[in-house]
Amino acid sequence: MKITTLKGMHDIKPPEIAVWHWVEKTIREVLEGAFFSELRTPVVEEEALFTRSIGNATEIVEKELYHFTDRKGRKLALRPEGTASIVRSFNEHFATAGGKTHRFYYLGPMFRYERPQQGRYRQFYQMGAEVFGSKDPRTDAELIFLAHEIFKRLKLTTTELQINSLGCKTCRPNFRETLSQFLSSRIQSLCADCQRRIQKNPLRALDCKIPTCIEATAGAPSSLDHLCSDCQTHFEGLQQRLTLLKVPYRIHARLVRGLDYYERTAFEFVNTQLGAQNAVAGGGRYDDLVHDLGGPSTPAVGFAIGMERLVSLVSGYYPVEERRKKIFFACLGSEAQTRMIPHMMELRNLGWATLMSYENESLKSMLRQADRLEVDYTVIVGEEEIRQGLAQVKEMKTTGGQSSVGLADLAGYFLRL
């Protein structure tokens, strides 16, 4: 029986992988240019890391966590997102190492047992950034600016930035209570999930996609009307700095994130071209999480980009110059093959991708293969060329024109192109 990929999981294959490399490289450049360093954490962690941070009453933990017990009976889970692991690692290695602020970025697969659909998978990649040690809303704004800059460099112009403030430990309980009361008064119109959320996690009801719930919560109280003065000042500071940095935004009072640890700033970049799963990136501030996970009280803010969604949006802009130029060596006979090996290796060392067929095929069959490999040039060498110290260089992408080039000058010929 043929074994295939699991539902909701997928292979990232050539030629699409080249777009991934370009997107990853662009994100690294933007983040490293702002003093972020990569931090790689394991895919498997203690389950408690996620239940305690993301929250027991969230969908991610309640319904979507891939969890299991290992051979020693330890309760483990595949990470559903990156922030919790980065915080765990920060507490283990950096929290007491001195330094005012710390900046990390990560890239890797995340796992959520969701109902798969376009743009929503069970294994998907996130690239994210986190800043530890700053409460200042200018830090939130600069982080948002970096995400905006990433999209700009990838020529993605159709994302809208939505921002909100979720309040803090001081003002959120009051908002939660007011919202619970509002939802209770409409309990009959809410779906079963939202009915349960009234007590456990009322904010999530604002994010329910079921039309009857959207209608029933249309006049719901807003967190923005319940902010304490510190949260109010913080939210205003964020907006002022975004304006200064020329990052357009829209205040979206119903924006709540699927993870419980956020407070104050919450934001999403949404894209109109993506259909139902339209969030390309999301993030926010989580000032209590480091402490909640056993570290010293340290404010923090971060975001994560959904890589599959981003790649699908920018693949049309993948620049031709990012592609490595390719040369195929079509050598007729073993003597020609042996003679051309040093030339092939030299060009490879000069940065070209080079390949030779050893299958002793006909020229026609080798040219067909070169076409399939989408090479830029084919170097054709037979007995006659060897005798004359020449190669025929065939241009494969546009004209199909052919030139005779002296073997001694072959590398020089390609360098001059």
Write out the residues near ligand AMP by the rule CB under 6 A.
Answer: 81, 112, 114, 119-121, 124, 126, 257-258, 279-282, 304, 306, 308-309
Q: What is the closest distance, in whole angstroms, from the C-beta atom of residue 271 to ligand AMP in the complex?
A: 9
Q: What is the closest distance, in whole angstroms, from the C-beta atom of residue 121 to ligand AMP in the complex?
A: 4
Query: Cβ closer to ligand AMP: 257 or 394?
Result: 257
Please, what is the Cα angle at 247 between 246 and 252, to 5 degrees? 140
Instruction: Please give the backbone phi and psi of residue 412, each rounded to the nearest 5 degrees, phi first.
Output: -60, -40
Query: Cβ closer to ligand AMP: 60 or 410?
Result: 60
Number of residue whose CB is nearest ligand AMP: 306
Query: 355 near 329, Cβ under 8 Å?
Result: yes
User: What DSSP character marks residue 207?
Assistant: G
Q: Which amino acid type is present at position 145?
A: F
Per DSSP, the three-state class of 45 is strand
Query: 101 near 132, Cβ under 8 Å?
Result: yes
Q: What is the closest distance, in whole angstroms, from the C-beta atom of residue 82 to ligand AMP in the complex?
A: 8
What is the C-alpha separation between 44 and 335, in angstroms, rounded?
53
Q: Answer left, alpha or beta for residue 119, where phi above 0 means left and psi between -120 and 50 means alpha.
A: left
Query: Cβ closer to ligand AMP: 247 or 407?
Result: 247
Q: What is the closest distance, in whole angstroms, from the C-beta atom of residue 110 to ligand AMP in the complex?
A: 7
Query: Cβ closer to ligand AMP: 58 or 378?
Result: 58
Query: Cβ closer to ligand AMP: 260 or 308?
Result: 308
Query: Cβ closer to ligand AMP: 121 or 329?
Result: 121
Q: What is the closest distance, in whole angstroms, from the C-beta atom of residue 116 to ligand AMP in the complex?
A: 8
Query: 410 near 381, Cβ under 8 Å?
Result: no
Q: What is the closest distance, in whole angstroms, from the C-beta atom of residue 131 to ligand AMP in the complex?
A: 16
What are the start-end ranges of the E strands in 120-230? 123-132, 159-165
